[in-house]
Each structure stands twice: as structure tokens, then as C-alpha cells.
Structure 1
Amino acid sequence: MVELPRYVKPQRKPNGRVFYYYERHRGTPRALPRVPLLAQPQDPLFWLRCDLCTMLDAEAAGDGWAWRWRAPSGRSYPLPSPREPDAFWAAIEAAITTDEAATNGGARTFVALIDLYRAHAAYLDLKPSSRSAYDRYLDQIAARWRSLPVQALTTIEAQAAIDAQQETPRAAEFFRMVLCRLIDFGIPRGFCETNVAEKTEKIRYKSEPYKPWPDWAFELFFEHARVGLHLPVYSAIYTGQRSVDVVPMVRPKRDAGAIELVARKTGANVFVPIHSDYRQVLDVTHVDHVRLHLREDGAAWALPAYRTAWQREMSFGQPITKTVDEAAAERAENPAKAAAMERLRHAGLVFHGFRKNAVNMLLEVGCTEAEVSSIVEMTEAMVRHYSKDVNKRRLAMSGMRKLEEGWANTRQNLFGGATSPILKNRA
């Protein structure tokens, strides 16, 4: 359990979600109105806002309160009421920017380095999905060390920022990578002389590979999951695309020979010929709508809504995306579905596993890595990574076949003709 800063209190809502507030002098005559932090402890923004709250002043004014933020420079900035938390924190951010401009001038701070990086080809040439991922961690770095000169950062401080995300190792790893690259970018531009982040510990964790869905899993899913989730599963299997590309697919014309789209992750044009079985699925489910994947009410699925619905189905009977009472009611109403979804969860099966199904099936029928790569929009190196289990099975079957064929005419059996009594006495 993380130890919270002084005056920071959690509050659990009826739906189980926990929110955090800064409540200075709570329960005393000097108590100030509470300030919503709008962040969770695993987010660096949470700790920054906790620090910023220590620099708040508030005085009773008529029927309300007058709020101000005292900057480290000694300047004071008026703020709106925290009853409107978005406007409240936006005003503090604006005050920080104003104060930094007045105090630091041309100081080589992290915020200045990030602005320079975002205007450079090193950032602009990243793929859109990569830029989006970088932005998340650049914002975290700016939130934590905004006005700190890059040269002043220590390895200890960098390690503390990484350790704050240890509950999510992959996020911690990405944070460390972005921080290292950002500081590397700043070295030849005079922001610092060495990269202290490179001396931090590398994140060690075992990544669980995505699992292809076995036959029994499809049987359970199609029997128990809501029907509106089914067609995207067929599309994922027959096209091998990611959910971000599958869910918003445009319905192909009846005489179309292929599914065509632009992959959101890579920006590449994708051309997937329509398998005859998939065409039958498209014909049976045809509706006059521009979009292919529709909810039960006939409206098109939005990706966030589909993911939410998927998660609710996969967690059926469990208080993961619902309250304890709602989960208990689901189990009581449909225990068979609850048991089926529990089995799928315990098997570690997710939507992205369909992509591995597609890769495996193409490889099993003898497709080359280049052919698989062109269909599922995946690098040949990643196809090889996905295909390790398939290749092992193919090699094992090929090896056993060669063993049988190679010795068929030269040896009575693998033991030179000798036979154990346990076989001689069998009919």
C-alpha cells in the first residue's frame, strides 16, 4: 500500500472507484475546502499535484473562498474554485508557465527540451501511434520536472520516477526509454553533459505472449457471449488485423474481392483477399449500412464501446467492470455463462490472440513469412516471433515423417528387430 502525502485522503465511491482529495486541516476550525486531485497514485501527475497543493492559499470571502497559488518565486496567482477541478488545475498550469517565463527566461529546463524535441524531426518522423505513446510519457516527464534544469536531474531522482510505476512494468520500461532518448537528444544541444537516466536499473519482467484461441474457446464464446460481439471475431480471424482496424471496418461491396484499409498503427495500405468462408459470413450478416460491425440495435460499433462491451462480457459474474452486487446477480441469473467466461479469463485469452490464430493458420498451410506479412500487416521478424510454436510443430512432424520413411525398407523397427515380451504376448 502506497503511503499518501499529508492531507491527501482517498474516498471510495459506491461503484468501487477510488478518488483522492487534498483536505488540509480536515476536522479542525482551520479546515479548507477539499481539492480533487483528478489523478491516481501510479501517475506522476498525482505526486506533482500533491506538491502543488502545499503551495495553495485560501481565505473565506463572502459566501465562498478566494484561492491563490504561491509560486516558488514568491509570486501569487489567483485561482477559480476547486469545485470546478478542470478549470482549477488548468489555472495552476497556466500560472506555472507564466511564472517560469518570468523567472527562468532561457533556462534549459525539461519543458524547454520537450518543446524543442516535439518540433524536431526525431519526434515528427515517428509513426502516429508511436508519437501518441511518446506524448503520454513526455507529458509525465513535463509534469514531474517541468522547470527543473535538465543538468540538475540526478540518477536517484530518475530512478524514483521509474520506481513509482513499478506496478506496471511495461509502462515503467517505456517511461525509462523515453526519458533516456529525451536526455540523449538534449546532450548535443547544450541541455546537459551526460545521460543520468542510462544509469538507472533496466526493467526486468517476463512478457506473457498472446495466446491463440483453441477450438473449445470459440465454442464457449459463441455460445455465451452477446451476439453483437461475434462478427468482429470472424473478421479478426479471416483478416488477421488488430482490433483498432477490425472494429471500424467499412462493409465491402458484395462483389469486392478483398478487404482494403489503412492500418492505423503503421499507416500502410492493407489488402486482404476475402476467404470463401468469410464471404459466406458477410453474405449471411449483410445489412445495408456503410459500416461492417454493428451492435444488436443496428448502430455501428465505436472502438471504445466495443472494448468496454468485450470486457464486460469477459468479466461476466466478476466485480471487475461492475459492482459486487451486479456481479453476484449475473452469476445467479446465468451460472453457465459465468463459468464459461471464467474459463476463458483463466486461459489468458484476449482479442489480440485472434491475430496469432490468423498467423498460425496461414503458416500451417505452408504460406511463406512474406505472404503472411503482407496479409496481416506485420513485419517478417514479428511473423517469425509469432510462429515459433507453429514452426516447432512443423519441424517435429517433418522429422518424424523422415524417420518413418528413411528406415521403412532397412530396419524391421527402431530396435533392430528385437521385440519386448510385452508386445509379443499382445493379440
Structure 2
Amino acid sequence: MRSRKRVGAVELPRYVWSRPNKIGRHYYSYTRHRGRDWAWPTIPIPFDPQTQEFWQRCKQCEALEAGQDGGEWRWSWRGPSGRLYPLPSPKAPEFWPAIDDAGKRDASRDGEDRKTFGALVEAYTAHKAYADLADLTKRDYDRHLREIVRIWGDEPVSALTAVDAQEAIDSFQSTPSVARYFRAVLSKLIGFGVPRGFATVNVVADTEKVEHEVEPHEPWPDWAFELFFEHARPALQLPVYSALYTGQRSVDVVPMARPAAGANAIELVARKTGRKVFVPIHSEYREILTRTHLDHPALHLREGGEPWTLAAYRTAWQRDFTSVNAKGTPTSAPAAKKAAMARLREAGLVFHGLRKNAVNMLLEAGGTEAEVSAIVEMSEQMVRHYSRDVNKRRLARNMMRKLEEGWAETRRNLFGEGASAR
């Protein structure tokens, strides 16, 4: 016996029927106008009311249209936009996938017609402007693009006001760096949409810029290197040298390929920017590479001879610095090592700080901001930001040298011709 109204405590939608088998398991189907001459053929629903998919299928059935043509039933589904999409027979295995696909196409076409944020994000991510971004940049963009779709996905871009945008930006005020990036991505997205008819103006231009000064990571002092190389796990050490002598990010350092014998430089493609990087090999670094040479295409290897992955290296680094394993259990590291690593940890020293060490060394050696930028794959503006202390010392030394060179005349102007040195 079939029942439509209720199965247990669940009230079924209109035209949805249940039928128990011999062991009491219920099967569900959709039959519009059941029991009448103009009743539709039965459509099995392959889920039960305990699942979200069941209710989704029931809702999709409500939008079905059917009729007979020459004795054969023709099926279609009408989307929220009002468009009609032909469907195969409900007996065909592709029936439900066809409805799902129609729903996606209807939402996309409706979004295109109404110029929604969802449609704009889809257009942007399919464009060369997005495809040309470095993989790491795409990852960061994707996080904010998903948030934009979550907030305004079905809303027309032209309906967004500066007040709306500012409210969304302010929701990240506890994390200024995130707020700044969200604002930048939103501005980039709407800027992309303006010449494509999604909006007439970029309202983000009228929002407040997020005041946030990025504090560079601290460079490692001499004592930190001494403690690290004395106590750290041996397989963690060569990547530190590589970071110090190349100035690259950990994402590029850890998977470095071993340079060929006699090579004058390490060449790679920076994952963050997608640009080619050429770093001449320093003589002392070459000596380190020679001493640690193993016949393997990868430069940085675990103790067992397998190349490090970035995730595994970071995990091992964290374990060495905290003396706690992945399960949260303290390791059996010697007390001296635990004390040394605790001191490094308490000083806030991280792998990325080695990048500032590299910048500082290059600047101390007299490198220009353009020269340093070329080696460490960093903008000249960021080089200046990283190296404020170094530049101050350089300026102070230059000024004192000028004072020494012109001291005789300066002294006469200060003390007069007859004054003697004291």
C-alpha cells in the first residue's frame, strides 16, 4: 500500500509517495496527478527523507514539466529564471544528472543576465588575468573570491554600494592583513567587471584603505645560528644554509633541485610570482654543497635519503623546535637541545626570518635595492621595508665618513681658525 502524506513523523511533499517492501523498507517516488487519467509516469526518487538529497530531488520534481507527444512522454525542467531545459526519460540513468546540469546552467545564465557576483567570479577565473597569476597568489585569491560569492553571489554587482563593501571589509578588522587583502581582491574583481558591463564604477575606491604595516620577520642573530647548527636535526640544516645564501622562500628552498657540478648559479621559478630566479652560488655555499653532496636530483634530503616535501619539512621543523611530536607527546630530546630550541622559539625566530638575513647581508655588502631584488625575488619596495635598520646603519656610516673627510673645514667653521684639536 502506498502512502503520500506521512512516513513515521515525516510529512512528504505533494505528489511524493512511499511504498514499503516485505521487510518494511520504504521506497519513494514522484507521481503527479496519481489516480487520474492524466497522471504522469512514476519517477523513482533514489534517496530517503533522512538525506538532504531526497528533499533536493523533491524540489526539482516540482519544477518538472511533462506531456505526451504522439503517445510518447516528453520531459523538461523549468529553472528559476523561467528557462525550459529538455530532459531524458526518468528511466534513463542520466535523468537526474541532466536536471543537476540544467540547474547549474540556469544559475549561470541567470547570473550572466543579471550580472551577479557569482557570474563575475566565474568570468574572472576563466580569464587570462586570473590564469596568469602564480599558484600561491591564486590560492590566496580563491579564499577571498569564495567569501565574496558567499556574501553576494546572487546579487548584481551594480547593486553593491561603498557602504556594503566597507561593512564587509570591516568584518575582518580584527585581522588587518586579511582585511587589506580582501579589499584588494574585491577591488580587482569589480575593476575587471566594469569594462565588461557588470558595474559602471568600482565602489571599492570609496572605501577606507586598511592601515596595516607589515612587520618583517626578525633576522637570526649569531647566537641563534650557533644553537641551531649545534642541536637541530641534521636533515633540517642544509635548507637553512640554502635559505641564507639564496634568500628564497621556504616554498622554493625545500624542493630545490641539486645544481649540476660546476654550475655557477641556482636557477628556479619562484612559486609565488611565477618568475625565473637566477642566484649565483657563493663560494662558501658551494663548499657546503660539496661537503654535503649526495647523488640525488633533489638537494634537500631526509636522513633516509628521500627528498623533503614542504609539508614534511615544516612538520619536522615544528617538532624539533617544540620537542613535541605530532600526537602532542613530548619527545625524548636531550635537555640541552630542548633548552636551546626553547630559546630560539621564545625569540620568535622562524624560517622566513632567514630571508631577511639574506637581504641584510646583500645590502651590507653594498648591493643596491635593485640588485638585492633580483636575487631574492622581492620588490624593491619590500627590500626597503625589510632593510630599514640596515639602511639606517649605511646612512649613518656614510654620513660619518663624509664628516671625517670634511672635518678640517667643518672644524674651522665651528671653532674658528685659531682653535686647536683637543
Give TM-score, length-normalised by structure 1. Answer: 0.67
Deviation at 1:97, TM superposition (A): 3.1
Once the two structures are superposed, residues 80-128 of structure 1 have per-residue CA deviations (whole angstroms, 9 ceiling, x without a partner) of xxxxxxxxxxxxx979736625866722111111222234444344445
Who is 2:354 aligned against? 354
Deviation at 1:333, TM superposition (A): 5.4
2:409 and 2:108 map into 1 onto residues whose CA distance is 88
Deviation at 1:306, TM superposition (A): 1.5
Who is 2:374 aligned against? 374
- Unmatched runs of 5 consecutive residues or more in structure 1: 1-28, 31-59, 78-92, 420-427
Which residue among 146, 149, 153 is the counterpart of 2:153? 146
Q: Does 1:247 align with 2:234?
A: no
Which residue among 268, 275, 291 is the counterpart of 1:261? 268
State the SS of the aligned residue for 1:286: coil
State the SS of the aligned residue for 1:68: helix
1:399 and 1:73 map into 2 onto residues whose CA distance is 81
Who is 1:38 aligned against? none
Deviation at 1:301, TM superposition (A): 0.7
Bigger radius of gyration among the two:
2
Once the two structures are superposed, residues 272-306 of structure 1 have per-residue CA deviations (whole angstroms, 9 ceiling, x without a partner) of 22222112211111111110000112110112222
Q: Does 1:161 align with 2:168?
A: yes
Who is 1:42 aligned against? none
2:52 and 2:144 map into 1 onto residues whose CA distance is 35
Who is 1:399 aligned against? 399
Asked if 1 retains the 8 angstrom alpha-carbon contact of 2:267 and 2:276, the reply is yes
Give TM-score, length-normalised by structure 2. Answer: 0.68
Asked if 2 retains the 8 angstrom alpha-carbon contact of 1:73 and 1:99, the reply is no
Write the mapping of 1:125-274 to structure 2, written as runs, cut at 5 A: 125-274=132-281
Who is 1:50 aligned against? none
2:51 and 2:407 map into 1 onto residues whose CA distance is 94
Q: Does 1:117 align with 2:124?
A: yes
1:364 to 1:61, Cα distance in 2 relative to 1, 3 A: closer
Who is 2:304 aligned against? 297
2:409 and 2:196 map into 1 onto residues whose CA distance is 74
Who is 1:56 aligned against? none
Who is 2:384 aligned against? 384
Deviation at 1:184, TM superposition (A): 2.7
1:365 to 1:195, Cα distance in 2 relative to 1, 3 A: closer
1:410 and 1:62 map into 2 onto residues whose CA distance is 93
1:188 to 1:253, Cα distance in 2 relative to 1, 3 A: closer
1:294 to 1:94, Cα distance in 2 relative to 1, 3 A: farther
Once the two structures are superposed, residues 346-374 of structure 1 have per-residue CA deviations (whole angstroms, 9 ceiling, x without a partner) of 33322222122112112212233343333
2:344 and 2:101 map into 1 onto residues whose CA distance is 48
1:101 to 1:186, Cα distance in 2 relative to 1, 3 A: closer
Once the two structures are superposed, residues 211-267 of structure 1 have per-residue CA deviations (whole angstroms, 9 ceiling, x without a partner) of 221101111222232221100011111112222221111112232222222222333
For the aligned residue pairs, the C-alpha RMSD in angstroms reads 4.0
Deviation at 1:314, TM superposition (A): 3.2
Who is 1:48 aligned against? none
Give the fraction of aligned pairs with identical amino acids, expressed as a percent: 57
Asked if 2 retains the 8 angstrom alpha-carbon contact of 1:75 and 1:99, the reply is no
Which residue identity does 1:118 align to in structure 2? T
2:112 and 2:409 map into 1 onto residues whose CA distance is 88
1:150 and 1:185 map into 2 onto residues whose CA distance is 11
1:144 to 1:391, Cα distance in 2 relative to 1, 3 A: same
Which residue among 255, 277, 280 is the counterpart of 2:284? 277
Which residue identity does 1:138 align to in structure 2? L
Deviation at 1:343, TM superposition (A): 2.8
Q: How many residues align?
A: 344
1:115 to 1:71, Cα distance in 2 relative to 1, 3 A: farther
1:410 to 1:395, Cα distance in 2 relative to 1, 3 A: closer
Who is 1:343 aligned against? 343
